[in-house]
Amino acid sequence: SKVSSLQEILHAREQGLGIRETAALFAEGLKELAGRGHNLYGRVLLEATDANVKVTYPLEGGERQMIMMASNNYLGLSTHPKCVEAARDAAEKFGVGSGSSPLLVGTYPVTKELEAKLAKFKKTEDACVFSTGYSANVGVISSVVGKHDVVIVDRLAHASMVDGAKLSGANVKVFKHSDAEHLDRVLSRCKNYVTKLVAIEGIYSMDGDIAPVDEILKVCRKHDAMLLVDEAHSTGVLPGGGAAAYFGLEGEIDLIVGTLSKAIGCCGGFVAGKQDLVTYIRYFARSAMFSTAPSPPVMAAASAAVDVMQDEPERCEKLWENCRFMHCELKRMGFRVNDEPSPIIPVIIGSMDAMRQMTLELHRNNICINSVIFPAVAKGSERLRISLTANHTREQLVEALRCLEQAGRNAGMVNGSILPKLP
Ligand code: PMP
């Protein structure tokens, strides 16, 4: 039979359908979706993804200019001349590939420089880079906890933390989203584990809310648990450089994980913390050890980006100005959004059909906004996810709002008409 969603595919596998049969079913479903204009991997980017981008859709043909509201390039650094120049210089000097894992071939000076800058920026003793933020979380968590230990993750923690926790062989527990009291109760039942690790995000990737890092840290200290904060979306975004700085807790968090792919505008990940712990991770995180080191041009560009972030604070200010404007306007239009302004604005739709209709209409109007469905978010909280950058102009935001309101009206989603209840 035809499938209409990724959920049905996952369900088919859970029910024991073989991979060949499931893949065939999926291919059929994708064809049908493409026929209706949905083509998840169909968009081809013809230039750098900044506040707008030129694309083609193979099925439709022709080039189009879209307002980009799906990229995490929060400060617009992926095209910053200093970052591009640093990458070019490093490519000329060191080539584009790193050859092998740092344990086998060694480390380039651009990488060492970046690690030192990241440690300084996060006010920690040391930092170690990974090829992606995903592999940083997987490598860090799976190396620091094992079978005698427990890892307690926030219910909304990113897949990379959950995967790292599963891979570690440690006992995995979940606490209610950003609920320090619940974490306290969970930790009270974890006295017999050797190492206790709590894993949260600084700004949550799908809801855009800031974690109460201070309250969570207090509870961790009470129970002698270590705290890992994934600062993927908060690095360079929260005033001061990240969530630890925002809460005045620099140097206090055991492990800060981050990505180089969002505000830093490049690609890669890192962990920052105390010297001994970071050294241990360097030697034991399998996703770093058994993987080729990130390429020198990317390391050099990220290093330049860390400087630009600090030298040009007006980028962060502009980002937040955009966040406040967009958040206020969406609320005024009657959309269900998060409580506080954030560079990530979830517009909760809660209905797959309405969301598909809106996404299609927005794309037809050249607004690139992602829709997010299960398993990335809970069933019933399907959403459009707006990502803002410092480079969005007021005109672009106003145009996106106009299209959102129109699409929302057409799908019956604004001004309280058929807003579904939150799960
Ligand atoms: N952590 C969080 C919270 C994220 O949102 C992401 C990216 N979506 C990652 C980690 C992974 O980072 P990367 O894209 O660099 O692999």
Atom of ligand 1 nearest to the CA of 269: 15
More confident residue, 285 or 42: 285
> In the chain, where are the structural domains located?
80-311, 314-410
Pick 284 or 334 by higher pLDDT: 284
Average pLDDT, the chain: 92
Hey, which of 72, 132, 158, 264 would you mutate to test ligand 1's pocket, going by the most ligand atoms within 8 Å of its Cβ?
158
Is the per-residue pLDDT at 211 higher than 80? yes
Residue of 118, 134, 140 with the most ligand 1 atoms within 8 Å of its CB, for mutation: 134
Q: Per-residue pLDDT averaged across 179-191, rounded?
A: 98
pLDDT at 415: 54
Interface predicted TM-score (ipTM) = 0.99
**Model pLDDT, residue 419:** 42
Separation between Cα atoms, residue 277 and residue 124, nearest integer Å? 11
Query: 8: pLDDT confidence band, cut at 50, 70 and 90?
Result: confident
Cβ neighbourhood burial of 315 (10 Å; 0-12, 13-18, 19+): buried
Q: pLDDT band at 417, cuts 50/70/90?
A: very low
User: In this structure, what is the dihedral angle of CA atoms 190, 196, 202, 208, given to the nearest 10 degrees?
Assistant: -40
Average pLDDT over residues 191-211: 96
Q: In which band, very low, low, confident or very high, does the pLDDT at 421 lie, cut at 50, 70 and 90?
A: very low
Render pLDDT for 223-252 as a digit per residue (tens, 0 to 9). 999 999 999 999 999 988 999 999 999 999
Provide the percentage of residues in the chain whose pLDDT is more than 90.
Answer: 77
Q: Per-residue pLDDT tens for 324-356?
A: 999 999 998 889 999 999 999 999 988 888 888
- Residue 343 CA to ligand 1 centre (angstroms): 15
294-306 average pLDDT score = 98
Q: Which has the higher per-residue pLDDT, 356 or 107? A: 107
Percent of the chain with pLDDT over 70: 95
Assign 25 a pLDDT band (cuts: 50, 70, 90). Answer: confident
Q: 191: CA distance to ligand 1 center in Å?
A: 31
In this prediction the pTM is: 0.94
Residue 12 Cα to ligand 1 middle (Å): 27
Residues in contact with ligand 1 (CB, 6 Å cut-off): 132-134, 137, 158, 160, 201, 205, 230, 232-233, 259, 261, 269
CB neighbour class for 413 (10 Å; exposed up to 12, middle 13-18, buried from 19) = buried
Q: What is 80-311's CATH number?
A: 3.40.640.10
Ligand 1 atom at minimal distance to the Cα of residue 267? 15
Which amino acid would we find at residue 244? A
Pairing of strands 226-230, 255-259: parallel
- pLDDT of 366 over the 70 cut: yes
CATH architecture observed for domain 314-410: Alpha-Beta Complex (3.90)
**Is residue 277 predicted with pLDDT exceeding 50?**
yes
Would the pLDDT of 423 be above 70? no
Give pLDDT, residue 420. Answer: 40
- pLDDT value at residue 292: 96
Residue whose Cα lies nearest atom 14 of ligand 1: it is 133
Q: Between these two residues, 280 and 2, which has the higher pLDDT value?
A: 280
